[in-house]
Amino acid sequence: MSTPYECSVHTHSTLCDGKGTPEEMAAAAYAAGVRYYGFSGHSHVPIPREQAFVLPADMSAYRAAVLSLREAYAGRMDILLGIEIDNLADVSPEGFDYWIGSVHDFAAPDGEFYAVDYSPEEFARSRDELFGGDAYAMTDAYYKAVAEMAARRPDILGHIDLVTKYGEKHDFFDADAPRYRKAALDALHAIDPAATLLEINTGAMSRGWRTTPYPAQFILEAWREMGGRVIITADTHHPGTILYAYDKAIAAARAAGFRACTILTAHGQEECPLPCI
């Protein structure tokens, strides 16, 4: 029987915006006891300033790098070829072992782009320039984009409440406000629990923005009531954070009533029990 600590499938490398080469990331994963490691590079987006942080539109070099590592680790660790598809991506997830659907960006009618998670300053600029200073109009628009992504039935819905990234350090909006919660739950209800896993993602914890994983407990509890399944990920960009704060993610899942999580393997999805933390 596998454990959640054997799977890490939301990961980045120097081929997009990560700090470790694919070889370094795979070696760190193997050393950490991971047996199912997935690469999920950021998909290409038609945003000029993001080109240094995403994969090129031609993903053949990315595929080749991942598949060569799959061979190198054959029999020791399953390497999966995944991709994190952005809501504004101009590439398809076809031909990958799995895909993570994530909303990171807003597009303005004048062709300008705004990232949700780049910095608090950019967050404020989006709120002011795109939504007239109304943070709840911004969170409504964010969750509308999440619902559209959910309708595409990704294998994993990425960091569903990414819009809360700066909430512990900046008072942009009240995440307990009824309008905010309704928008988040409407997006959650757009996910098909039979098609898509919701991720419990510790990425903002390793980067110092949050002390708890995505998503908020009320979202996790509603997802359990919907019969949904969860997967634990670190959204790692560094060889030192392959399994970052998995204990906290497991505790959050258990507190919401989950007793198992799903992992991805070379032979498909597998359920594993959540240990008591």
Where along the sequence are the contacts to Zn ion (CB under 5 A)?
84, 102, 158, 235
Beta carbon nearer to Zn ion, 197 or 224: 197
The residue among 102 and 196 lying less far from Zn ion, judged by its C-beta, is 102
In what helix (H) or strand (E) does residue 231 lie, and over which residues does it extend?
A: strand 230-233
Question: For residues 44 and 93, is the Cβ–Cβ distance under 8 A?
Answer: no
Cis peptide before 215 (omega within 30 of 0): yes
**Residue with smallest beta-carbon separation from Zn ion:** 102
DSSP sequence for 25-87:
HHHHHHHTT-SEEEEEEEPP-S-GGGTTTS--S--HHHHHHHHHHHHHTTTT-EEEEEEEEET
As a whole number of angstroms, the distance between CA 204 and CA 172 comes to: 17
Q: How near is the Cβ of 47 to Zn ion at its closest, in Å?
A: 14
**Closer to Zn ion by Cβ: residue 6 or 235:** 235
SS (H, E, C) 188-214: HHCCCCCCCEEEEECHHHHCCCCCCCE
The CB-of-257 to Zn ion minimum distance in angstroms stands at 26
Alpha-carbon gap, residue 178 to 176, rounded angstroms: 6
Least distance (Å) from Zn ion to the CB of residue 118?
12
Supply 59's token pair.
């993903």
Q: How far is the CB of 84 from Zn ion (least distance, A)?
A: 5
Q: Which is nearer to Zn ion, 158 or 213 (CB)?
A: 158
Q: At its nearest, how many Å lie between Zn ion and the CB of residue 147?
A: 17
CB of 111 to Zn ion, least distance (A): 23
Task: Pick the closer one to Zn ion by CB: 84 or 140.
Answer: 84
For residues 203 and 224, which CB has a smaller minimum distance to Zn ion in the complex? 203
Angstrom distance (rounded) from CA 68 to CA 65: 5
| Residue 121: burial class (beta carbons within 10 Å; 0-12, 13-18, 19+) | exposed
